[in-house]
Amino acid sequence: MWLRWACMFGIVWANVGFSKSSAQLPTGWKQHDMNRARPAVVTPGAPNLPLAPPSDAVVLFDGKSLDAWRSNDGSPAKWVIHDGVMESVPGSGYVVTAQSFADVQLHIEWASPGKVEGTSQGRGNSGVFLQGLFEVQILDSFDNLTYADGQAAAIYGQYPPQVNVSRKPGEWQSYDILFRAPQYGDDESLQSPATITVLHNGVLVQDHVRILGPTSWMQHHPYSKKPDRLPLSLQDHGNPVRYRNIWIRELPPPQVVPPSIPYDPIVTQLTEAQRKNLVGKYNQVNGGVWEIKSKEGKLYFIVNGPSMEMIPHGPDEFGLRFTAGLMKFALDESGKPMELKFSMGGNEMLARPSTK
């Protein structure tokens, strides 16, 4: 995901810390916070792969065909098969299963490219999306620094793995995933969130965690009623990640899971005049345009599409709801902005109000 960030902002890397005082997720951390401790490195045991599927499994890939897979638009999958493995083709898009699932046990074996290219989120990046909504990150996380909630076996943007058991680039790795789909009431309200348990290379790294909502880059998406059964998908992130021996088992109904912890931010109140002064477009020093809009007494920061609610710490400093970003304004005597510094993910960017 770092590459996408860099392309959008034209950033210069910097070592910048962030406040965790407000706009946190129920985990106690904002998304992609570089201050969040990264998991300890643990060497997994010797691989015993491939792992044969049990008799009741649905085999999604056995090394011979992509019949169980489709492209996002329903057309035949555009990934390739060679030497008994399926490989993502950069630019071809995600592949999704023709069959839909709810509660499952999933086994999947994958390998990042043996030749190391790129860093952080640009190195062996892909992902397993349960129901097409909840991502278990795939990444070359062997001696590769990135944010904790974006490394291999993370529930992307939400939970880092408990430990980092990544094998070397090019070596085969496995995920064994137990997934429980979210449950909704007759009024479409959420009754219990999705939960997930993940073993990476045979080591427990996610222990029945409650997923906070559909996973996404820079965004927190609340739950909304979807069909009970949805396809599994694999991500094309521009890296030729390989897969083999994919099988899935449908599970019996889950036990009742308590609802997630409520979100309760700390907010400083601003006057209408203070909010109005900040509204408008801002030209980035390195190119690009940001925009701040006001709606129903709240300010929103718009960055190449995503619209993020600004949480005021005061008239000149704002956090972003659910996201580890910090905005600092330099204001003149009348309270009008002269420049804006935006810090996120270890980077600091500068913009000035548009004069047009």
Whole-model pTM: value is: 0.65
CB 257 within 8 A of CB 195: yes
Check residue 8 and give its pLDDT: 35
SS3 content of the chain, % helix, strand, coil (to 5): 5, 40, 55
Check residue 1 and give its pLDDT: 42
Rounded distance, CA 42 to CA 32, Å? 22
* Cα 323 versus chain centre, distance: 12
Q: Locate tokens 């097409």: which residue?
A: 132
Strands 337-344 and 242-250 turn out to be unpaired
- DSSP code, position 38: P
Report in angstroms the alpha-carbon separations of 6 from 193, 291, 333, 347: 32, 18, 34, 10
Strands 58-61 and 242-250 turn out to be antiparallel
Check residue 15 and give its pLDDT: 31
The structural domains of the chain, with segments of one domain joined by +, span 36-250, 272-353
SS (H, E, C) 42-94: CCCCCCCCCCCCCCCCEEEECCCCCCCEEECCCCECCCEEECCEEECCCCCCC
Check residue 24 and give its pLDDT: 61
Partnered with residue 70 across adjacent β-strands are 76, 96
Give the contacts of 262 (CB within 8 A, at least 6 positions apart).
26
Domain 36-250 class? mainly beta
Check residue 260 and give its pLDDT: 64
Residue segments in the chain with a per-residue pLDDT below the cut of 70: 1-24, 122, 254-266
Rounded distance, CA 295 to CA 308, Å? 12
